[in-house]
Copies of this chain bind each other. A is one copy, B any other.
């Protein structure tokens, strides 16, 4: 009995490791098309920044580790070109056929292409990408960079390059940052970037890169679904691979997880495409468990994400006002700013925007920013969303208080109190 996993980063290796725990005698083979496996892609901007000195520090485990410690075969440079589910086999570049009984497709995503290309155009998606950029920075000592896209990666890349002394301009096609239609959030991020002398150009159409020594393309991710689609696996309306709650695709015995797959959004109750490392790992575990014979369920996502932009933490969870309207809710929003902890323990202003549905009083989402305490608060709201809490229940939460950690009325509770009067 062989489990084949296509993809050796977050979801693929989570699936393989989980399957091994459950089925000690299962043969497990992981095929990774790239040179590296098991790396923390979210750490790449910090390797560029220099905070992480060596790229190996971002590698969690080696193929050798998986072979010795987990009895899992991991092959790098192994690109699958087609899958024949009728024959239960994958075909590799070079013609080799690899048989399977169960298959997990964890082919990930790739940076969305733009009009920019050439030797001074970079992406920041793989360890190889980062190595290439790092070498360029060292050898060519560029002075000016253009970052295309004001999503997480774009803003993190801008931060990393600026801290290396480059002049940085970020261009974004939409009128807002972080794919969140929120004028105040965009203003807060812009203010922070300007304080560090990074230029942000919104509503910026196809821009030329004249005057820039390098271009970072960070215009979003596109799921790698071609292999699956050609094998006859259904895609969802988001364009990513459609899976059920067991991570099984439309072909029985083939599972999918990670940045190539959709996930159930618990607020909209519809599939969404939110490619993130944490979700990839969770989905991978469920795919691996079920491929190994269990019957586990992935609980779904609420769209939580966080980013640090020059010391400003920005976090989102659930829906924005615009998304909520589009999904048919009647959202009411409140925005408050309150200290993250006692002033005499270094508390900083924390802004919390909270949304609930007017009819049902159900919590729909939140956007938070501040220099301190953002991660703890967004996680409380993410937990509340997972539990479909109503705003008057959020207001009642028994959160921890002592002056070194919080204020007697936590910002989340203050926002909930205000919102409670309005829904």
Contacts and interface: CB of A to CB of B under 8 A. Distances in A.
Nearest to A45: B403
A401 interface: yes
Contacts of A304: 398-400
A396 interface: yes
A315 interface: yes
A10 B345 CA distance: 21
A323 interface: no
Give the oligomeric copy count: 2
Contacts of A303: 398
A282 B300 CA distance: 32
Nearest to A400: B306
A43 B306 contact: no
A374 B405 contact: yes
Contacts of A402: 42, 152, 305-308
A315 B400 contact: yes
Interface stretch (A200-208, A211-219, A382-390): A382-390
Contacts of A43: 342, 344, 403
Given A277-B408, A396-B386, A398-B317, A42 B403 contact: yes
Contact of A278 (B46, B281, B408): B408
Nearest to A378: B400
Interface string A352-385: 0000000000000000000001111111101111
A379 B382 contact: no
A131 interface: no
A383 B397 contact: yes
A103 interface: no
B396 A379 contact: no
B302 A403 contact: no
B344 A51 contact: yes
A277 B406 CA distance: 12
A276 B401 contact: yes
Contacts of A233: none
A149 B183 CA distance: 52
A398 B386 contact: yes
A187 interface: no
A386 B379 contact: no
Nearest to A10: B408
Nearest to A57: B344
A299 interface: yes
Interface in A48-64: 51-52, 57
A313 interface: yes
Interface in A287-322: 298-308, 313, 315, 317
B400 A375 contact: yes
A409 interface: yes
A40 interface: yes
Nearest to A263: B398
Contact of A382 (B298, B302, B385, B400): B400
Interface string A386-423: 11010001001111111111101110000000000000
A305 B307 CA distance: 28
A249 B346 CA distance: 40
A279 B397 CA distance: 9
29 contacts: A10-B408, A42-B403, A43-B342, A46-B345, A152-B402, A266-B398, A277-B408, A278-B398, A278-B409, A281-B408, A281-B409, A282-B396, A299-B396, A299-B397, A302-B398, A305-B402, A307-B402, A308-B404, A313-B405, A317-B400, A375-B406, A376-B380, A377-B379, A379-B380, A379-B397, A379-B399, A379-B400, A380-B383, A386-B398
